[in-house]
Amino acid sequence: MKTQYDFAHTREARVHGSARVPFGLYENRMPEMYGNVPAHWHEEFELNEVREGRGILLLDGERYAVAAGDILIIPPNALHAAYPERGSVFHYDALVFHPSMLGGGVDRSVTDCVNPLVRGELPGGPLVTPAREGYPAILAAVRQVFAAARQNTARDDLLLKSGLLQLVYLLEADGPPRPRAEERLDHQRIRPALSYLAEHYAEPVTVGQLAGYCNLSKSYFMGCFKRATGMSAMEHLCQLRIRAACEALGKTSRGVSEIAADCGFQNLSGFNRQFKKRVGCSPAQYRRSAARPPEGEGKG
């Protein structure tokens, strides 16, 4: 099983699958693989099952505390981020799949049930916990989906699709769709700033500049950004820089001071302090742990 997040852009750049295989299956292990997942979006659905530990998911401005056994459904183009709770691991499997896996056309099952999901109108909300009515059946459908994806054959794709449709059926039993949060509008407003930061995270930037890219006043921009991502623009920028540093530490032999400078940090002490705060260990410790695969890591 692959790791999901090796992207550099806030709109996730990596392609999940292909036209013939329109899905990607990933294993995410925090903090072993990386300290957090910065805010980003993609045009596919994302189905997550938390396997171990506890974490926080930020989805279109709303904060969800999740734990082992929880299931998360992230609709297309929804801004989301994730990080472990302090002192906890956060391991989850993710299936990122194109909406075409749920079918197309104009029949009522698509127009009345599937299309609202694509718009982000999720019955009962995006989080399914063991306390939710119908959870055992929902979990069984999710497990069928992941098992079929792991087999990765044309024949098993039929089971994958049937499991996804079974999941939609079970979610619909929860009643009328939950309207998408108003914070979705904030996501649209701050997209220019998110895209700029993803491309230029190593360069100096001010909140005033970012507000200007979005044609918003500084104070209004700060409020929009906080509601949409759960953090300030400068905190998000620091996450991007630390994420890039993690990539470089794990995949190159460059010196720590060189990596810090290339990722936008003005001095090594500041980099070390922010790295320890956000990842939970020093850059040198992270590099050593990244050199050996975590025990039990899946393959794919």
Q: Which residue has the tokens 């959870």?
A: 135
Asked if the structure places residue 299 within a domain, the reply is no
State the total domains in the chain: 2
Instruction: Give the domain-ending residue among 117, 152, 178.
Output: 178
Q: Per-residue pLDDT tens, the chain, 300 aa: give them.
A: 544 444 334 555 555 667 889 999 999 999 888 788 888 888 999 999 999 999 999 888 788 999 999 999 999 988 888 999 988 999 999 999 999 999 888 889 998 889 889 888 888 889 999 999 899 999 999 999 999 999 999 999 999 999 999 999 999 887 655 555 555 678 788 989 998 998 999 999 999 999 999 999 999 999 999 888 878 999 999 989 998 998 899 889 999 999 999 999 999 999 999 998 888 789 998 888 776 544 333 332
| pLDDT for residue 100 | 92
Question: Does 66 map to a domain?
Answer: yes
In a domain, 16, yes or no: no
Q: Both 52 and 161 in a single domain?
A: yes
Residue 184: partners with Cβ closer than 8 Å, 6 or more residues away: 60, 61, 78, 120
Is there a single domain that holds both residue 193 and residue 152? Answer: no
Question: For position 165, which CATH number holds?
Answer: 2.60.120.280
Within a domain: 295: no
Residue 237 and residue 125 share a domain: no
Residue 99: per-residue pLDDT: 94
Assigned domain for 111 exists = yes
Clarify whether residues 211 and 170 are in a common domain: no
Task: Provide the strand spans (E) within the chain.
Answer: 23-30, 37-40, 45-59, 62-67, 71-74, 80-84, 90-97, 122-123, 127-128, 177-178
pTM assigned to the model: 0.69
User: Does 224 lie in the same domain as 89?
Assistant: no
CA distances from 28 to 48, 52, 93, 212 (A): 10, 11, 6, 35
Of the CA atoms within 13 Å of residue 7, those in its CB half-sphere come to 19
Domain of 259, CATH number, reads: 1.10.10.60
Distance, CA of 132 to CA of 142 (rounded, Å): 15
Q: CA-to-CA distance for 163 and 169, rounded, in angstroms?
A: 10
- Give the pair of three-digit tokens for residue 134: 């119908």
**Omega of the bond leading into 123 within 30 degrees of 0 (cis):** no
SS3 of 122, please? Answer: strand
Q: Is residue 256 part of a domain?
A: yes
Q: Domain check: are 171 and 212 in the same one?
A: no
**Domain of residue 191, residue span:** 183-290
Q: Do 237 and 110 belong together in one domain?
A: no
Backbone angles phi, psi at 94, to 5 degrees: -135, 130
Q: Where are the alpha helices (DSSP H) in 111-232?
A: 115-118, 135-151, 154-172, 183-200, 207-213, 218-229
